[in-house]
């Protein structure tokens, strides 16, 4: 499968199955498009046949002379012979092997507090309550969760635990106690816990900062961008804005971590479709690691992203990509999570085929110890998988998640971005289509655009 | 090649045999929590 597009003056050709990315001139771009349009499975041998050049002459003869077409075709043949163009999809058969592998649990999202000190308008956790009641996780439940993780992790050494909420700092002592417990246990079982925390920063202080820097592999700092944007969607329950209180704390924390191993993370809605301004605002505040993601909401929510918003969003991603190139070249670069792409050392095919891991290797734990496929499914009883006392009691839920991949979804099978999003967010698919075996179409459009921008940035900085 | 500049030397095919150790980070733990981005994750073996 070939995907080719023009962006910011670059002619880009992505050979989807090999992951090879080529920047080509206009002639070669047209030749590849012409060959791809034939719909045939090209090999070096078929490309060398007389009929191939004849076809190119027929399609492009009015724009290019024969010697030009011959020269470009030679490059195409060389790439194809090297397995970097017109590569066949040989991964579907690998899928059976990947599925047969014993799945271990390697990551937990601990809902350490189903309570929050902010009242964000778009919160999928319903201000921390997740369709349920306010609650804090006890140390006993958290301890059992870590025991469950160790017991179900097989030979996997690196285990991830995210302290999530609601707002986890509302239950900070339990977080500290669980980290201490985890550090004891990892020595006994030859494991290594990678703790992370996601916080709104309201309760962040020097003591917490020191602990986070000592113990947390990553910290996600929730902030939406410009003051007016943040305060519109992320107010206190009183209605007052949170920006002024939080921003200095986040700046201090980011600096204390040498601007590494954190993300300042925001959400954009249809009320700030000019979200590149919020990302640049982060950069101007001194942050180097950032993410701003489209809101997850019901179609009826006034702030939800609609299909009609897509042109503006696409233009915004394009604009952001160009600015990021300029800033990088001027020594003021920063990382935007959704434009990060590692063309050389990215994930292996097995990882790309298995997706986000929700419901199989990644589970969420409620304050009272129930297990769900991920944090977004918490509170939806049909997805209750078990609990920390009895383990997985509904293995059919895990089986369903395991069976879901880019080859079982028709929308993904023919999508060029399938090896970058790995089928997308299953919670989003469920929310919009009532099944995890589908894809959230608006999200897919945005994902494809982000992949294109990320690759274009690589081309510009190569 | 006169008409092509290739940006990467590795291909996905090369990861078929050696990949799959499962030691890499779970994507949603890194930052997203509401979307899914696997392609930007780092391979633990290449760190």
From the list A79, A347, A362, which residue is nearest B43 (CB)?
Answer: A347
Q: Which is nearest to A162 in space by CA: A150, A177, A179, A148?
A: A179
The number of CA neighbours under 13 Å toward the Cβ of A271 is 19
Query: Is the separation of the CB atoms in A60 and A31 below 8 Å?
Result: yes
**Residue A421, pLDDT above cutoff 70:** yes
Q: At what angle do helices A66-81 and A50-60 cross, to 10 degrees?
A: 130
B3-31: average pLDDT = 84
A86: left (phi over 0), alpha (psi -120 to 50) or beta: left
Average pLDDT along chain A: 94
pLDDT at residue B47, rounded to an integer:
61
Q: Which helix (H) or strand (E) covers residue A303, if one does?
A: none
Q: Specify the 3-state DSSP secondary structure of A197.
A: strand
Mutate to test the interface with A, among B34, B45, B46 (most CBs of A within 10 A): B34
Mutate to test the interface with A, among B20, B35, B47 (most CBs of A within 10 A): B35
Alpha-carbon gap, residue A320 to A336, rounded angstroms: 10
Burial class (CB in 10 A: 0-12, 13-18, 19+), A94: middle
A300-317: average pLDDT = 96
Q: Do A343 and B10 touch (CB under 8 A)?
A: yes
- Phi–psi pair at A233, nearest 5 degrees: -100, -20
> Does residue B35 sit at the A interface (CB-CB below 8 Å)?
yes
Q: Do A21 and B6 touch (CB under 8 A)?
A: yes
Alpha-carbon gap, residue A116 to A119, rounded angstroms: 7
Going from the C-alpha of A25 to that of each of A11, A63, A388, B7, the distances in angstroms are 6, 14, 58, 14
Output DSSP code: residue A256: H
Cα-based angle A358, A419, A305 (whole degrees, multiple of 5): 70
Alpha-carbon gap, residue A223 to A278, rounded angstroms: 10
Q: Do A194 and B25 touch (CB under 8 A)?
A: yes
Cα distance from N-terminal residue to C-terminal residue, chain A: 24
Predicted TM-score (pTM) of this structure: 0.95
pLDDT at residue A254, rounded to an integer:
98
Q: Which residue of A has its CA nearest to B20?
A: A350
Q: Do A351 and B9 touch (CB under 8 A)?
A: no
ipTM for the predicted complex comes to 0.92
Output DSSP code: residue A225: S
Mutate to test the interface with B, among A78, A198, A337, A357 (most CBs of B within 10 A): A357
Q: Do B22 and A421 touch (CB under 8 A)?
A: no
Find out whether the peptide bond into B7 is cis, omega within 30 degrees of 0: no
**Residue A269, number of CB atoms within 10 A of its CB:** 22
Cα-based angle A401, A355, A360 (whole degrees, multiple of 5): 40
pLDDT at residue A92, rounded to an integer:
85
Q: What sign results for the dihedral spanned by CA atoms A330, A334, A337, A343?
A: positive
A201: left (phi over 0), alpha (psi -120 to 50) or beta: left
**CB contact set of A217 (below 8 Å; sequence gap of 6+):** A160, A194, A195, A196, A261
**Residue B19, pLDDT above cutoff 80:** no
**Residue B47, number of CB atoms within 10 A of its CB:** 8
pLDDT in tens, A423-457: 999 999 999 999 999 999 999 999 999 999 999 99
From the list B1, B32, B43, which residue is nearest A75 (CB)?
Answer: B1
Of residues B17 and A108, more confidence is placed in: A108
Going from the C-alpha of A206 to that of each of A164, A199, A211, A333, the distances in angstroms are 20, 15, 9, 28
pLDDT in tens, A86-142: 999 988 887 777 777 778 999 999 999 999 999 999 887 777 777 778 899 999 999
Q: Which residue of A has its CA nearest to B40?
A: A341
**Residue A223, pLDDT above cutoff 80:** yes
Q: Which is nearest to A369 in space by CA: A385, A393, A395, A387?
A: A387
Burial class (CB in 10 A: 0-12, 13-18, 19+), A209: middle
Q: Do A443 and B41 touch (CB under 8 A)?
A: no
Q: Which is nearest to A70 in space by CA: A85, A57, A83, A59?
A: A57
Q: Which residues of B touch A344 (CB under 8 A)?
A: 8-10
pLDDT in tens, A309-363: 999 999 999 999 999 999 999 999 999 999 999 898 788 888 888 788 999 999 9
């Amino acid at each position: 499968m070939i995907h080719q597009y023009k962006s910011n003056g670059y002619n880009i050709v992505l050979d989807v199955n090999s992951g090879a990315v080529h920047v080509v001139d206009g002639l070669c771009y047209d030749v590849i498009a012409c060959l791809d349009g034939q719909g045939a499975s090209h090999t070096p041998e078929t490309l060398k046949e007389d009929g191939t050049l004849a076809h190119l002459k027929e399609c492009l003869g009015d724009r290019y002379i024969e010697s030009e077409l011959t020269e470009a075709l030679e490059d195409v043949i060389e790439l194809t012979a090297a397995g970097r163009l017109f590569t066949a999809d040989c991964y579907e058969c690998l899928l059976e092997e990947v599925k047969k592998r014993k799945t271990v649990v390697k990551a937990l999202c601990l809902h350490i507090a189903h309570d929050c000190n902010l009242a964000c308008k778009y919160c999928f956790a319903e201000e921390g309550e997740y369709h349920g009641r306010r609650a804090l996780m006890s140390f006993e439940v958290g301890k059992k969760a870590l025991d469950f993780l160790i017991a179900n992790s097989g030979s996997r050494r690196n285990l991830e635990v995210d302290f999530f909420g609601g707002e986890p700092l509302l239950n900070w002592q339990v977080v500290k106690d669980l980290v201490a417990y985890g550090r004891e246990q990892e020595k006994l079982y030859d494991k290594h816990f990678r703790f992370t925390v996601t916080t709104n920063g309201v309760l962040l202080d020097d003591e917490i900062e020191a602990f986070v820097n000592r113990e947390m592999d990553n910290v996600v700092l929730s902030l939406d961008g410009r003051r007016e944007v943040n305060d519109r969607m992320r107010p206190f329950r009183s209605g007052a804005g949170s920006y002024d209180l939080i921003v200095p704390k986040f700046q201090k924390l980011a600096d204390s971590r040498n601007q590494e191993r954190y993300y300042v993370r925001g959400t954009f809605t249809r009320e700030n479709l000019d979200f590149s301004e919020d990302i640049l605002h982060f950069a101007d505040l001194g942050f180097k690691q950032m993410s701003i993601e489209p809101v997850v909401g019901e179609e009826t929510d006034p702030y939800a992203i609609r299909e009609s918003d897509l042109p503006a969003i696409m233009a915004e991603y394009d604009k952001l990509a160009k600015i990021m190139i300029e800033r990088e070249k001027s020594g003021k670069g920063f990382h935007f999570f959704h434009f990060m792409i590692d063309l050389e050392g990215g994930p292996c095919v097995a990882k790309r085929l298995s997706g986000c891991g929700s419901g199989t290797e990644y589970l969420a734990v409620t304050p009272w110890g129930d297990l769900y496929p991920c944090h977004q499914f918490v509170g939806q009883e049909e997805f209750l998988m078990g609990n920390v006392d009895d383990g997985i009691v509904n293995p059919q839920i895990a089986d369903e998640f395991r069976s879901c991949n880019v080859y079982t979804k028709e929308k993904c099978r023919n999508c060029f971005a399938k090896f970058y999003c790995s089928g997308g967010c299953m919670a989003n698919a469920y929310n919009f289509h009532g099944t995890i075996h589908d894809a959230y179409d608006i999200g897919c459009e945005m994902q494809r655009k982000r992949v294109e921008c990320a690759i274009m940035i690589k081309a510009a900085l190569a | 090649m006169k008409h092509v500049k290739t940006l990467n030397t590795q291909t996905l095919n090369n990861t078929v045999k050696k990949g799959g150790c499962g030691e890499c980070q779970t994507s949603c733990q890194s930052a997203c929590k509401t979307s899914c981005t696997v392609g930007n994750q780092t391979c633990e073996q290449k760190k």
